[in-house]
Chain A
Amino acid sequence: MAIDISDRPLPADREDSSRLLLEVDNLHVEFRTRDAVVKAVNGLTYSLSSGETLAILGESGSGKSVSAQAVMGILDSPPGFVTNGTIRYRGENMLTMPEDQRRKIRGRRIAMIFQDALSSLNPVFTVGDQIGEMFRVHLGMSKKDSRVKAAELLDRVRIPSAKDRVKDYPHQFSGGMRQRVMIAMALSLDPEIVIADEPTTALDVTVQAQIMKLLSDLQQEMSMGLILITHDLGVVADVADRIEVMYAGRVVEEADVGDIYARPAHPYTEALLKSIPRVDMKGQALSTIPGTPPNLARIPAGCAFHPRCHRAQAICATDEPEFAQVALGRRSRCHFWPEVLDDQR
């Protein structure tokens, strides 16, 4: 019988940044539809320590959101199924846990922030109700106390007149404010891990910056582990410590933020960085990655990226690259990563 760790008290010293919170190992997720089997995640491996911000970067269809849902245990099943791998939270494999144990972790120890706050919040309940619900359900708090807590949280995410706004409904907030509400709700029980799935994609650029700053500040205050899922390179640069670049359901490059921006070690990352418009490129054609992301029901043989890669050679179509160690804390899934690295000098 698995040990129920959801009630274990958290260690007093949460600032111990070397403590490993989450280990995802060789995760495979597939969707079985009427027409085909879509392999959304193919051997995803990463880990997260407390106090760390990990960015998972990828285009639409790279499997980043699906992997997050698998970690949370909210995958739509059917048609989604975890077919391989382990997801360890504080050493325990969540995939083999009984559901009620997993549910106690969900929301309380690992929380999620969704992209579209308007559709992700229940339109018929007040914001205070929805945030307070966390306290009532997980901690058994009274309705009155939970509402007080909700107001405190709204204040913490810097929503003005928090005490009054507690009684408002989601549609009465602006986009940025709504996202803060989502953040408040996710952070309410002081979780150890927060997964933010494209938290700023639906927002204006200026609001984006505010929200990212808020997340970053809160993370430092509470020293939680933050997984930031995004496709936006700009967002990642300021906030993340490490980056996992995903393509076709697996990680193709893994490195510290600074290293990746300075010298990418994978053609995909290289192409992504090159495609960011810069002021000094004025007058030149914008650089793009040719082609489109692969059909996940028919992932190309060999290296999944090879049809779009300008460095591809014969071996890329037949042999899948190993996840090679480039340097300490850096890995790349490419046959020719040394060439990529060298080209950056």
Chain B
Amino acid sequence: MGRYVARRMLQIIPVFFGTTFLIFAMVFALPGDPIRALAGDKPQPPAVTIALRDRYNLDDPLLVQYGKYIWNLFQFDLGTSFRGREVSDIMSETWPVTVKLALTAFVIEIVIGLLAGVLAGLRRGSFLDNLVLISTTLVVSVPVFVLGFTAQILLGVQWRIFPVAGLSDGWPRSYILPAVVLASISLAYLARLTRTSLTENLRSDYVRTAVAKGLPRWRVVGVHTLRNSLIPVVTLLGVDLGSLMGGAIITEGIFNIPGVGRQVFNSVRTQEGFVVVGISTVLVLVYLFANLIVDLLYGVLDPRIRYE
């Protein structure tokens, strides 16, 4: 197991550099002059331009720029935005918001998704099963922004159950609606996966053996079947946490939540390269580690998996 972890960590390193470089390249190598964008329509004195460009290493070859960035990164210096703010300050303001949102969504997704999936899987063909099937299909096919948008209008503006936007009501009121919207697609997939997994396992031979052993029904389902059914579900959940943070971009945009998603979107538009790269780097790290943990978890849950 230890060797496996070491090997995986070794794999993560080139991927980390590759991904961050890719982002860095997209942000800084492609055209669009951030310095000029800063000035807007006003003409910028050349001296200022040169000084600014030098300060941010914008005239260095791409690899050198990247190198310098990484070097600073390992000293926990994420750089400064072109407008002068410390990127780390920006991050410390916005990340907690997104983390709260993502975790809320995660909990909602697990509770509702698992419950729906288990109930549907146990009572295949019933009204409940069909209800779950249809509703998850609808949720998955209606795009997130339409869903969020509609939810905002209906529940926020028209019926006034939840705040329309912003964080003024704090946690949880302000977070519930956006969290539900954020969780919606993952929830639907989770419910379906649980349902399918449960049904498949209920048909397996070892369940037949459990019944033949005279075990009570609750034990056959709750102990034997569930344990096996949850293996693929847990792996899905692990990957999901990472993608929830990524999916926050749209949700935060609609509900005007001052988190990482909205920040990165604005920064892309205003060509704040360092902010974009900074946020993306953290996202990538979260994602890579989530994947690693999921892989390890899989081995813990399923004793047939061996790590060499």
- In-complex A–B contact (CB below 8 Å): yes
Size of B's binding interface in residues, CB under 8 A: 21
Min distance, Cβ B298 to any Cβ of chain A, angstroms: 12
Which chain A positions have C-beta within 8 A of B208? 74, 114, 120
Q: Which residues of A contact B205 (CB under 8 A)?
A: 114, 116, 119-120
List CB contacts (< 8 Å) of B172-219 with chain A.
204-206, 208-216, 219
Is B224's CB under 8 angstroms from A103's CB? no
Chain A interface size, as a band, is: 20 to 34
Residue pair B303, A124 in contact (C-beta under 8 Å): yes
Task: Chain B residues near A137: list those with CB within 8 A.
Answer: 213-216, 219
User: What's the count of A-B pairs with C-beta under 8 Å?
Assistant: 68
Given contacts A123-B303, A123-B304, A124-B301, contact A107 B206 (CB under 8 A): no
Q: Inside 8 A of A111's CB, which chain B residues have their CB?
A: 212-213
* Residues of B280-308 contacting chain A, CB below 8 A: 301-304
Docked Cα-Cα span, A185 to B304, in Å, equals 21
Bound-state Cα–Cα, A114 to B213, Å: 11
Q: Are B214 and A138 neighbours in the complex by a CB distance under 8 Å?
A: yes
Interface: B227 (CB within 8 A): yes
Which A-chain residue is minimally distant from B211 (CB atoms)? A74
CB distance from A318 to the nearest CB of B (A): 40
* Pairwise interchain contact B206-A123, C-beta atoms closer than 8 A: yes
Contacts of B81 in A (CB 8 A): none
In the bound complex, what is the Cα–Cα distance between A252 and B212 (angstroms)? 28
Is the pair B301, A107 in contact by a Cβ cutoff of 8 Å? no
Q: Does A171 contact B (CB under 8 A)?
A: yes
Residues of B within 8 Å of A114, CB to CB, are: 205, 208-209, 212
- Min CB–CB distance B285 → chain A (angstroms): 32
**Known contacts being A169-B303, A171-B303, A171-B304, is A121 close to B215, with CB within 8 Å?**
no
- A263 interface residue (CB < 8 Å to B): no
| CA distance in complex: A105, B211 (Å) | 12
Per the bound structure, the CA–CA distance linking A122 and B227 in Å amounts to 10
B: which residues have CB within 8 A of A?
Answer: 204-206, 208-216, 219, 224, 227-228, 231, 301-304
Q: Can you report 19 A-B residue pairs in the complex whose CB atoms are below 8 A from each other?
A: A74-B208, A74-B211, A106-B211, A106-B213, A106-B214, A107-B213, A107-B215, A111-B212, A114-B209, A120-B208, A121-B206, A122-B209, A123-B228, A124-B301, A124-B303, A125-B224, A137-B213, A137-B214, A137-B215
Q: Which residues of A contact B (CB under 8 A)?
A: 72, 74, 103-108, 111-112, 114, 116, 119-125, 133-134, 137-138, 169, 171, 185
